[in-house]
Amino acid sequence: MNLTNISELPGLLQLERLEKNLFRGNSRDIGSKYVFGGQVLAQGLSAASQTVEEPRLAHSLHGYFILPGDIQAPIVYQVDRTRDGKSFTTRRVTAIQHGKAIFHMAASFQVEEEGLEHQIEMPDVPTPDQLTEVQAAMQQAIDQLPDRLRRVFNRERPVEFCPVEPLNPFQPDKHPAKRNIWIRTNGQLPDDPNMHRNALAYASDFNFITTALLPHGISWLDPKLQIASLDHAMWFHRPFRADEWLLYHIDSPNANGARGLSRGSIYNTDGVLVASVAQEGLMRLRE
């Protein structure tokens, strides 16, 4: 089933409560063979959040992808209420399919506190309004693809992307290991801050590990390439809305051992750093 309407995203991430610490989620097809990693990450965060009393919000999560998810089967999320402290709450989440764990995550929640502040500056890049010609050129190139591929690239998704440096996956070339992409949900979300964290976790897995391929001139479409997310870490720094434009600045400092590391900084349009992301992914070249 395709996730083509933003109204479906809150339902996808809200989950069905089966028991006090047990939740069930369904999957949506985004054109990949297996369950999209960002979906499992966001649903795991949603399950953990639903066991935490307000006003504590997630400030960090660390997840490991263990097995590919079956897109046809529901996913059960089991939450371990590890600790409820005075300032911090800790949860562990296991995602289960067919009796096996496919994903593990630890998440931490904190009451709002005042403290010392600093942040790195946002890169100086054009705004989405200044990239309309780039977007039009990209769509024109997509329209010239064969039907099967055009349907994949034109598939509606709940997240909208506006790349600052557009790349052609059909004509890969070597580039520095960094990208800037404006992202937002394709429609307005409810005001619940947990939903915006869940939605940003979902969106953060798009366009991420592929940044580590840029110095090598290899496309994620290359049939010789086996690529998959191995882990995903995320830190939420300041309030934000996932349905407003956010700049996703990504770089890849290292690749070796058939693995690539990517890092991301996410800013709002005022240049405020709202979240940071890191992920190591499998990048295996096969004969």
- State the Cα angle at 234 between 231 and 235, rounded to 5°: 155
Q: CA 127, CA 136: separation in Å to the nearest integer? A: 15
Is residue 221 exposed (0-12), middle (13-18) or buried (19+ Cβ within 10 Å)?
A: exposed
Burial pattern 142-169, b for ≥16 Cβ within 10 A else e, equals eeeeeeeeeeeeeeebbbbbbbbeebee
DSSP secondary structure of 70-124: -TTS-EEEEEEEEEE-SSEEEEEEEEEETTEEEEEEEEEEE---------PPPP-
Q: Is 262 a catalytic residue?
A: no
Which entry of 39, 49, 108, 229 is annotated as an active-site residue?
Answer: 229
Pairing assessment for the beta strands 159-163 and 231-236 based on DSSP bridges: unpaired
With contact defined as beta carbons under 8 Å apart, do 260 and 177 qualify? no
How remote is the C-alpha of 194 from its chain's centroid?
15
Joined tokens for residue 240: 């934000």
Q: Is 46 a catalytic residue?
A: no
Q: Is 205 a catalytic residue?
A: yes
Which entry of 43, 205, 243, 252 is annotated as an active-site residue?
Answer: 205
Length of the chain: 287
Among all residues, which ones are annotated catalytic?
205, 229, 279
